Amino acid sequence: MKTKPIVKKLNFEPNLKDYQKTYDSFSYFDEAKKFENLPDGGFNAAYTVCDVNAQNFRKNKVALYWEGEEGEEIKLTFQELSLLSNKVGNLLKNLEVGRGDRVFLFLPRIPELYFCFLGILKIGAIAGTLFSAFGPQALEDRLKNSDAKILITTPQLYPRVQKIKQNLPNLKTVILIDEENRTAFMKEAKLKKPGKNSYTWFYPLMEKALEKLHLASMKPTDPAFMLYTSGTTGKPKGVVHQHKALLHECISARYVLDIKDTDVYWCTADPGWVTGIAYEILGTWCIGSSTLVYGGRFDPAKWYDLIQEYKVTVWYTAPTAIRMLAASGTELVKKYDLSSLRHLASVGEPLNPEAVNWGQKAFGLPFHDNYWQTETGGIVIANYPSLDIKPGSMGKPVPGIKAEVINNQGQPVGPYKEGNLALKPGWPSMMLKIWRRPEKYQSYFLKNWYLTGDKAFKDEDGYFWFISRADDVIKTSGERVGPFEVESALVSHPKIIEAGVIGKPDPLRGELIKAFVTLKKGEKPSEKLKEEIQTYVKKHLAGHAYPREIEFTDKLPKTRSGKIMRRLLKAKELGLPLGDTSTLEDY
Ligand code: PRX
């Protein structure tokens, strides 16, 4: 490709020293042998992640450095993480939660999110996470489809749950985290009494729960956690991952993020999304590194301050954040001592060469782009410390992953030819299933390939280059948004009759959400109405999934069967050729 490769001179020894040699000789079977199983021979990802470390020389090592928006600080050692998650396991057992039951966490980035997640896995239940920006509609869709039995949330987020609780007959208990009792609990001080019946408080239950837990002995293929993600059509789908996903998450954390147990690692993602689970809880703790979690909002000065204060060595973030940091200037960077940084990585949306190079300029280190999806459960294509970076490329397949660019018949296309980015099924973190939608799961496969839904090409050196989504899924600030969900929220507005939603290229956010809206008879378009609609979507669906741009239109392009043709809306918006319009009804 045209971009000049970045040839690096490393002043450290990376975990992956010789990419090709490791790739060629790699075997999951050999890797699995290195994992410590439960004493009875069963497997439980949460055991490997925290109990093993709590029993070895890392017992008193800090696993979690947490800092809240107000500067509050909490440190949890591996032993504390293990005991707290044991207690969560018992707390849930006391509520009759068993294997396979779904327990959802609707929480901001607070310490409880992390040890509750592990506690759920420990008893063989399935953990689900919900992004804290979700509104009642998004919550209802996910909690209903999963038939969640328990929801753990905060008093601040609870009002959104209250609005939909009557529609969720299988939601047995809502537990609210009483943060004010956290410190007291940790010091074993007196605790408040449980609240009224529509919910119950967390710490009084924790007080009653035992510290000793009999861990569920799972098969590696048993479900461990699930995340809802969006496609082009229909409601979000529940992607279920198995306990053995940990294997690939740990290997990729080691090779791609270059995690060593001496690292202080900061992943800026939220566990409401898959990155925060795979590389904030599972893969990286498994290696025994210390993880920093910042509960506050994005703020360039604060972010640099955190790196300086905690002496962060490995930093994993996203292109939109990098572009925002770049916009805040290199001068700001120079005010901080960021010399602890060793390796920078990025994921979630295309990382433009300018952003890679800005890392080099500002931190003396380039950002290493990597690629994966909720469904792949872990990084599948990446740039590595020991390989030259071609800025703009996602890099090469992770050891254990066979990636290819194929045509619609399932045949590999040659170098530089655009095609479907596909993977050979069978890696351990490949989704186990789509919750209650086997036909959806099947739709991911073509012949013997797993289809990512992305278009890409490969160059002559085996580097993969992202081109675009093959479908209408929107990536805004790295977050995946399904147009159908936004359209459904829009048409539930009393003044809207129809809506079509697209992702429009945006230099900062990658894409922004644009909605084309047809109003009901008698309703007048206005700027005020646009704002009203935006607020409505933010409140009902999610804070991050509202259309930043709205265009009122009298008619939307539709197929003769009545399906809105988003492809045409996008082509018109971008001034591109309209392509095949033979199925278009009169427009
Ligand atoms: O379109 C690709 C884009 O994000 C999608 C997956 O989104 P999600 O399931 O939310 O997973 C996020 C966890 C990483 C992909 O299908 N994507 C992800 N990484 C990249 C990317 N697009 C371009 N370059 C990347 N590095």
Write the pLDDT tens digit of every residue in 36-47.
889 999 999 999
pTM of the model: 0.95
Are 174 and 161 spatial neighbours (Cβ–Cβ below 8 Å)? yes
pLDDT score for 195: 41
Residue 192: pLDDT above 70? no
pLDDT score for 586: 60
CA distances in angstroms from 121 to 118, 131, 220, 428, 510, listed in the order given: 5, 19, 12, 17, 35
CATH number of 78-242: 3.40.50.980
Give the position of tokens 């956010």: 509
pLDDT score for 232: 78
pLDDT band at 2 (very low <50, low <70, confident <90, very high): low
Question: In whole angstroms, what is the distance from residue 382 CA to residue 369 CA?
Answer: 6
**Which range has the worst mean pLDDT, 45-54, 64-73, 121-130, 193-202?**
193-202
Question: In whole angstroms, what is the distance from residue 511 CA to residue 509 CA?
Answer: 5
pLDDT score for 7: 85
Whether residue 451 has its Cβ less than 6 Å from ligand 1: no
Mean pLDDT score of the chain: 94
pLDDT score for 401: 98
Residue 193: pLDDT above 50? no
**Quick one: which atom of ligand 1 is closest to the CA of 370?**
26
pLDDT band at 194 (very low <50, low <70, confident <90, very high): very low
Are 185 and 203 spatial neighbours (Cβ–Cβ below 8 Å)? yes
Topology alike, domains 19-28+246-469 and 78-242? yes
Whether residue 380 has its Cβ less than 6 Å from ligand 1: no
Q: Which fold has domain 19-28+246-469?
A: Rossmann fold (3.40.50)
Atom 5 of ligand 1, nearest CA residue: 373
Among 229, 450, 466, which residue has the most ligand 1 atoms within 8 Å of its CB, making it the best to mutate? 466
Calculated CA dihedral for residues 120, 121, 127, 131, nearest 10 degrees: 90
Whether residue 423 has its Cβ less than 6 Å from ligand 1: no
pLDDT score for 188: 59
**Which range has the worst mean pLDDT, 188-202, 331-345, 512-526?**
188-202
Whether residue 345 has its Cβ less than 6 Å from ligand 1: no
Tens of pLDDT, residue by residue over 432-461, are 999 999 999 999 999 999 999 999 999 999
Whether residue 356 has its Cβ less than 6 Å from ligand 1: no
Whether residue 44 has its Cβ less than 6 Å from ligand 1: no
pLDDT score for 134: 97
Q: Which CATH architecture has domain 474-574?
A: 2-Layer Sandwich (3.30)
Tens of pLDDT, residue by residue over 512-553, are 999 999 999 999 999 999 999 999 999 999 999 999 999 999
Among 232, 368, 475, which residue has the most ligand 1 atoms within 8 Å of its CB, making it the best to mutate? 475
**Which range has the worst mean pLDDT, 70-84, 92-106, 196-210, 401-415?**
196-210
Q: Domain-by-domain residue ranges, the chain?
A: 19-28+246-469, 78-242, 474-574
CA distances in angstroms from 94 to 64, 112, 322, 404, listed in the order given: 27, 18, 45, 48
Quick one: 323 exposed, middle or buried, by C-beta within 10 A (0-12, 13-18, 19+)?
A: buried
Atom 23 of ligand 1, nearest CA residue: 350
In angstroms, what is the span from residue 92 Cα to ligand 1's centroid? 34
Whether residue 131 has its Cβ less than 6 Å from ligand 1: no
